[in-house]
């Protein structure tokens, strides 16, 4: 398993985030929205929780999906040099060291902790992860959690994802998959298709032709294809959350009331 330089190539969207910084479990977190019943947990990519793009995405999700969105810091305060990323100065970034300091084994417990804190507070909870965060939301949706930690997940160009992660998922899954991706490979994409049909969870696969790994958060908005991909990816996630955090919850409550009568 590896992280490619394309995971870090980026372009900051225009705009200023409008959320606030709070504490979630033991982590600092950017928070957008104020719905008391439905929440979304974003597990950030290698550019971290302060990257403007991920905070702007949180603002969009909060407004358009009518949820409260949390973007915790899962890198212990470590922040990548955005300017070095934009200028593709990879020699200025200790990518290997960063991955060692923020491995799956090190960060998984606090990711679970943040999800548990939100689960105790909100009626419905979704999770979305990009690149480094992709493996984490699959783990949040794993069948080992009873009752489930989250009600649905959305995953954009995941890194560090294993076949075991895919096979263990037990909640609705949305995949946002650029065509060009050296990390979420064609083999892994096909395995996702085959496996999720067998485990029989609701599954939405969004294919993004002509664009590359990283485009859904860090894509260059000056390029027509990547801007379209970012907008489409955002819209797809919003629709997914509206379906499984609002519509599905209402239906389940109506069914419960019907059965009680």
Nearest to 71 by CA among 85, 60, 84, 81: 60
Quick one: how far is CA 166 from the chain centroid?
Answer: 15
pLDDT digits (tens, 9 = 90+) for 41-62: 999 998 899 998 899 999 999 9
Question: Rounded distance, CA 164 to CA 213, Å?
Answer: 22
- Residue 92 pLDDT: 83
| Domain coverage including residue 227 | 5-259
- Residue 11 pLDDT: 39
Token pair listed for 221? 């908005």
User: In sequence order, what DSSP letters do the residues of 2-29 get, joined into one string?
Assistant: ---GGGT---PPSS----EEEEETTEEE
Tell me if 154 sits within 8 A of 67, measured CB to CB: no
Model pTM score: 0.90
CATH number, domain containing residue 119 = 3.40.50.1820
- Residue 1 pLDDT: 47
Q: Decide if pLDDT at 4 tops 90.
A: no
Count how many domains the chain has: 1
Give the pairing of strands 27-32 and 20-24. antiparallel
Task: Tokens 């955005």: give the residue.
Answer: 82
212 phi, psi to nearest 5 deg: -115, 165
Tell me if 21 sits within 8 A of 28, measured CB to CB: yes
- Residue 99 pLDDT: 85
């Amino acid at each position: 398993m590896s992280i490619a330089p394309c995971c870090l190539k980026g372009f900051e969207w225009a705009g200023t985030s409008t959320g606030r910084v709070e504490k979630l479990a033991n982590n600092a977190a950017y928070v957008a929205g104020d719905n008391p019943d439905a929440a979304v947990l974003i597990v950030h990519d290698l550019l971290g929780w302060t990257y403007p793009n991920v905070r702007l995405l949180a603002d969009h999700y909060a407004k358009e999906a009518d949820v409260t969105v949390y973007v915790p810091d899962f890198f212990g305060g470590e922040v990548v040099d955005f300017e070095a990323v934009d200028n593709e100065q990879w020699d200025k970034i200790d990518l290997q060291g960063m991955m060692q300091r923020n491995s799956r084994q090190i960060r998984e417990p606090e990711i679970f902790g943040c999800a548990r804190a939100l689960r105790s507070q909100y009626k419905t909870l979704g999770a979305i992860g990009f690149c480094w965060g992709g493996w984490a939301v699959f783990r949040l949706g794993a069948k080992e959690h009873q009752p489930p930690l989250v009600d649905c997940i959305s995953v954009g160009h995941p890194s560090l994802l294993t076949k075991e992660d895919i096979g263990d998922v037990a909640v609705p899954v949305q995949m946002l998959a650029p065509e060009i991706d050296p990390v979420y490979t064609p083999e892994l994409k096909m395995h996702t298709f085959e496996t999720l049909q067998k485990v029989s969870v609701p599954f939405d696969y969004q294919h993004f032709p002509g664009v590359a790994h990283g485009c859904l958060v860090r894509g260059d908005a000056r390029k027509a294809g990547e801007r379209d991909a970012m907008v489409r990816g955002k819209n797809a996630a919003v629709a997914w959350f509206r379906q499984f955090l609002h519509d599905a919850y209402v239906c389940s409550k109506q069914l419960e009331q019907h059965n009680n009568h």
